[in-house]
Amino acid sequence: MTGLFATKEVNEYGANGAFYGNPKLLGEQVLAIVIAAIISGGLTALILLSLKFIPFLGLRVLKVEEEVGLDEKYHGERVNVSVRNVELEDMGETGKVKSLD
C-alpha cells in the first residue's frame, strides 16, 4: 500500500507513491514481493528436499506409527472417539448419514 499512498508530505526523505505521480515506486515494491516469494519458496523446497534424505528427520511418520496412532505412540494416550457403526448403504451421495433413527 505504500507504493500507492506514499507522499513526501508525510516523509520528506521518502518518495511519492502512484497516487501522487510516482507509479515506479509501486512497481519496485511488486518486484520486491516477487523476488522475496521466489527466494523463500526456493529455500523452502531445498530444505524439504534435504529432509527427505535424512533418515531420522523425514517429513512423514513411519507407517507403523501411523497405524498405531500418533497420540498412542508419542503420548501413550488413546483418543476417545465414539462413532456409531453405520453401514455404507445408510449414507447418501454426500457421505453423511441420512437418518439415525
Which pLDDT does position 33 carry in this prediction? 96
CA atoms within 13 A on the CB side of 88: 0
Which pLDDT does position 93 carry in this prediction? 52
Which pLDDT does position 52 carry in this prediction? 83
Low-confidence ranges of the chain (pLDDT < 70): 79-101
27, three cell numbers: 512497481
Exposed/middle/buried for 17, CB within 10 Å: 0-12, 13-18, 19+?
buried
| Residue-level length of the chain | 101
Alpha carbon distance 27, 21 (integer Å): 13
Which pLDDT does position 87 carry in this prediction? 45
35, three cell numbers: 523476488
Alpha carbon 73 to its chain centroid, in Å, reads: 26
